[in-house]
Amino acid sequence: MDYIRPAVNRGRANFGWLDSRHTFSFGHYYDPKHMGLSALRVINDDQVRGGAGFDTHGHRDMEIISYVLEGALEHKDSTGNQFTIPAGDVQLMSAGSGIMHSEFNASKTDPVHFLQIWIQPNVRGTEPGYQQARIEQKGPLTPLVTPDGRDGTLSMHQDASLSRLILEANEQLTLEVGERSGYLHIISGQAKVQAQTFAAGDGIGITKSRQISLQAGTDGLHALWFDLPTVS
């Protein structure tokens, strides 16, 4: 393990309607020691109360992924897309040359809980794009977003992949990094790595090691695994 990001040390923004934890520097939270890893720039753990959301605002040159854990999001953007993103779906908005969008809780009463992820693209000024899918789990590690959209995944403008990791109680798995970098973000359950136990919101970065071996806790493990370009 080359980089450990405990959940309790994340930045926090609470505006009443939004309660957000920031793995990396974002908005009013700035920490030069936590600016992202490789092309991975943002992991925000957001909970939005019923009837609230993010008013129309702009982005450019960023691959923005929403992974809904509970509830549903309403998305609307300047290219004419208007969709509901339920729990279990993954959405990718490629901001490219520029896009305006809004995101609101689809429910007037119940909260929505989702992860917002930003990945820096390897090409700028592309045509904005929108993708959304429900991808069934196929084994412990299932790709959700890849550079080429293979096997029904969403495709992004970066030599990186995002996969969903699901392990049963006490199940073990080794993730190969090779000459690249990796980041594990735990959503629920626990993971034991090199005699250390990690839980929801914790993150582990791999920049020098060649693999990471982990064991799920007694409640299993739900996590996201990022395969990333090498950190220079």
| Residue pLDDT, tens place only, 27-76 | 999 999 999 999 999 999 999 999 999 999 999 999 999 999 999 999 99
C-alpha–C-alpha distance, residues 107 and 51, integer Å: 6
pLDDT at 102 over 90: yes
Contacts of 155 (CB under 8 A, 6+ apart): 92, 131, 145, 146, 147, 148, 149
Kindly list the domain boundaries of the chain, sorted by start residue.
10-136
Residue 151 DSSP label: G
For residues 11 and 31, the answer to whether their CB atoms sit within 8 Å is yes
Helix residue spans in the chain (DSSP H)? none
84: which 2 tokens?
Answer: 């509901």
pLDDT tens readout for residues 141-184: 999 999 999 999 999 999 999 999 999 999 999 999 999 999 99
Q: What is the DSSP string of 123-136?
A: S-SPPPEEEEE---
- Nearest in space to 13 (alpha carbons), one of 42, 35, 46: 46
* Mean pLDDT of the 195-214 span: 95
Look at residue 158 in the predicted model and tell me its pLDDT: 98
Q: Give the confidence band of 112 by pLDDT, cuts at 50, 70, 90.
A: very high
For residues 228 and 43, the answer to whether their CB atoms sit within 8 Å is no
pLDDT at 232 over 70: no
Q: How many residues does the chain have?
A: 232
Q: Which residues pair with 22 in a beta bridge?
A: 11, 44
Per-chain mean pLDDT for the chain: 96
| Assigned fold of 10-136 | Jelly Rolls (2.60.120)
Look at residue 231 in the predicted model and tell me its pLDDT: 75
Residue 2 DSSP label: -
